[in-house]
Structures are given as structure tokens and as C-alpha cells.
Amino acid sequence: MPKLFNINKNPLIIAGPCSAESIEQMQTVTSSLQNDRRVSMIRCGVWKPRTRPGGFEGYGVKALRWIATIRKELRSPIPFCCEVAQPHHIELCQQYGIEAVWIGARTSVNPFLMNELAAALRGSGLAVMVKNPVTADTDLWQGAIERILHAGITDVAAIHRGFKVYSNSDTNPSTTNNSRYRNAPLWEIPIELKRRMPGLPLLCDPSHIGGHRQLVAAIAQRALDLHFDGLMIEVHPHPAEALTDSQQQITPDTLTSLLDNLTIRKDLDTAPAALAMLREELDELDPQLLDLLGRRMRIAQQIGEIKRENNMPIFQPGRWEEVLQRQMDLAASHGLSAEFVKEIMEKIHSESLRQQ
Ligand code: PEP
Ligand code: MN
């Protein structure tokens, strides 16, 4: 059987509702999505991980029966995937002919559960996607994927769905969340995962990152610009009436125009000459950056020695404030943003303190 997930098919599109809500909803969405040949798999949540009890927790086996019925009615059945969080979910998915499953962000965070799921998936024939854990931890995500790979599953992909970051609005609802995203994308984490596991297909879930339908297209484009291998997008026939994630789901028509407007960039076999020249320039500059940083650290060490001899504290808030402010004021004249310069200076400063 050919793999469902690979890094050559460009890009893989998975779409469908956050939750399976009725057979009619699933029939409508499946037939619309099947009409768009770019969609190669349908998603839907059957068991829903809710943050607080009392909400809609999914129709479970009843929803799996709807899917089985719909598949029988289709002439060429498109693969379906849903979320699994417990070993018995896996058995049920197999029983009802689901081709692929994903492990959600609240599950991939737990190594015990990942071991149990990996054991249940062994030999199941299911393709498996592993969403990033809710916490911004590349090792934990990689570990969850490795547990699946070590169980002998070969059709595997990672899904980037963004990270829960602390915001004041969690404790004080009157302050607004600084992040405009439901889950911060922290793109450096999926990029690092791709560096560590280059053969692993990497998909992006712009719906759960954005949390709002207006943001989905831009995040999807960003993911493709960053060389992601595909997208998982929440699509509902009537998003405003959805039982879960109603703010972020889009209609099948909106998905079609989103896909029409995506720019799919391609790698060239040989880089254009101008690009090669610019890369050479960067390759010369990068070691110079390290040279400057090394010189700065050695001076910081000498300063540390003088402070020690004179019994002075290592950290002097007034002096640090001056240095930071000066650099931030200079940022614009170098074409840099003050926030970027602040972040770099803070990293450099904390290393200086460590070395002193
Ligand atoms: C979902 O895909 O509907 C879902 C609950 O995902 P996540 O685990 O990313 O929150
Ligand atoms: Mn959802």
C-alpha cells in the first residue's frame, strides 16, 4: 500500500470538521471536499479532548458508524482520519475502516500515554500523525514521534498546531492576550524538528494556531513558504453553528478559494546565480558574528574578574538598562527592529552573566 504521508506529494491537504456532529453534516462536508481534487484526506474529531468538563465530548462510536456508512456510499472512498487518545480508540478506528489517526496536543505531551498508544498501534496498519505537545518542547514532540516509529509504524507525519504560551488574560480576563494567535506558532520549533527528522513529513494546522478563520489563509501560506509538506484545515458546512471550534472553521467554498490563492513554492535543482552570491556573502558574515561574540565574552570574563576582586555584584541593573537602551535606540539605523535587538542583547547578557 502506498504511504498516505510523504514529502514528495506537494502539498498534502487534509480537511474536515473539528467534530463529527451528525451524519448529514459529514455527508455534506465529505461530498464538497471530495469535489476538490486537492483534498486527499478527511479529518473529523470523534472523541473530543475538552479543557473543562461539561462540553460536547464527541459522538464516539456513533460517529464512526456514520463514517462507515458514508464510505459505503462513495464510489472511490477518500481516506478518513480522526484523533485517538486511548488504546481502545485505536481498536475502534480499525474496526470501522479509518485509515489514519492523529494524536492530539494534550496526549503527545504524555510519554506514558504515548507508550500505550504506540503499543496499540503496532501492526494496526494505521497511518499516524503526531501533533506537537501543548508545551513548547521540541524534545517531547520528537520523543512522541520516536515512540510511534519504534513501534514499527512507517507511515508517520508530524503536525504543527502551535503552542500554549502563558498570557495574562488566562488569569486576568480584563487584559487582552498579547498574542493574536490561539496557539503561538513558534516557527523555530517545527523548523528544528524538520532539521532533526528531515525524512518525516511535516504538516501545519493553521486552524488551531490561528483560532480565528480570518487568520487561517496567512498561516497556511507561511507554512508552505517554510517548506511544510501539507496542511490540516478545519472545514464545516456551517462554521458559526459548529459544536466545537466554531470561530476557526471555514466553509468548503472558503477552503477552495484559500487553496486557489496559495502560492506553492518549488525548490530548484540549482540555485540562481544571484542567490548563490548572496549565500556566499552570508557564509562570510556568520563567522564574523561569532568572532565578535567571542571577543565580547572574553571582555565580559575580564570584567567579572575585576568585580570579584573588588567584591562588586555581577549584575548591575542601572548599567544593564543603559546598555540595552543604547542598543535599542541604534536598532532602526541598522534596519533592525528594537524587539529583535532586545531579544539578542538579553541572550548575550545572560550568557555574559553566566560566564562571569
Ligand atoms: C483537533 O484537531 O480538533 C484538536 C483537538 O486538536 P489539538 O490536539 O491540536 O488541540
Ligand atoms: Mn478543533
Residue 70: per-residue pLDDT: 96
Least confident of 147-156, 283-292, 311-320: 311-320
In Å, how far from its chain's centre is CA 179?
Answer: 16
Q: Who contacts 90 (Cβ-Cβ below 8 Å, separation ≥6)?
A: 84, 101, 117, 120, 121, 124, 126
Residue 62: per-residue pLDDT: 98
Distance 261 CA to ligand 2 centre (A): 23
Residue 314: per-residue pLDDT: 87
Residue 77: per-residue pLDDT: 81
CB 38 within 8 A of CB 96: no
- Sign of the alpha-carbon dihedral angle for 98, 104, 107, 108: positive
Tell me the helix, strand and coil percentages in the chain, rounded to 5.
50, 10, 40
Distance 44 CA to ligand 2 centre (A): 9
Residue 170 reports pLDDT greater than 60: no
Rg (alpha carbons) of the chain, rounded to whole number: 24
Ligand 1: residues with CB < 6 A are 18, 45, 49, 83, 104-106, 131, 161, 208
Residue 178: per-residue pLDDT: 53
Distance 163 CA to ligand 1 centre (A): 12
Tell me which residue has its CA closest to atom 6 in ligand 1: 104
CB 130 within 8 A of CB 102: yes
| Pocket test residue of 208, 209, 216, 219 for ligand 1, highest count of atoms within 8 A of CB | 208
| Pocket test residue of 129, 205, 246 for ligand 1, highest count of atoms within 8 A of CB | 205
pLDDT band for 265, please (50, 70, 90 cuts).
confident
Distance 356 CA to ligand 2 centre (A): 48
| Pocket test residue of 48, 59, 131 for ligand 1, highest count of atoms within 8 A of CB | 131
Q: What would the mean pLDDT of 3-21 be, rounded to a whole number?
A: 92
Residue 76: per-residue pLDDT: 77
Residue 232: per-residue pLDDT: 98
Tell me which residue has its CA closest to atom 8 in ligand 1: 104
Residue 166: per-residue pLDDT: 80
Ligand located closest to 209 CA = 1
Least confident of 15-29, 45-59, 168-182, 322-336: 168-182
Distance 105 CA to ligand 1 centre (A): 6
Residue 175: per-residue pLDDT: 46
Residue 169: per-residue pLDDT: 58
pLDDT digits 0-9 by tens, 58-105: 999 999 999 999 999 987 789 999 999 999 999 999 999 999 999 999
- Sign of the alpha-carbon dihedral angle for 18, 230, 145, 110: negative
Question: By percentage, how much of the chain surpasses pLDDT 70?
Answer: 97
In the chain, the amino acid numbered 145 is I
For the chain, what is the mean pLDDT?
A: 94
Residue 1: per-residue pLDDT: 78
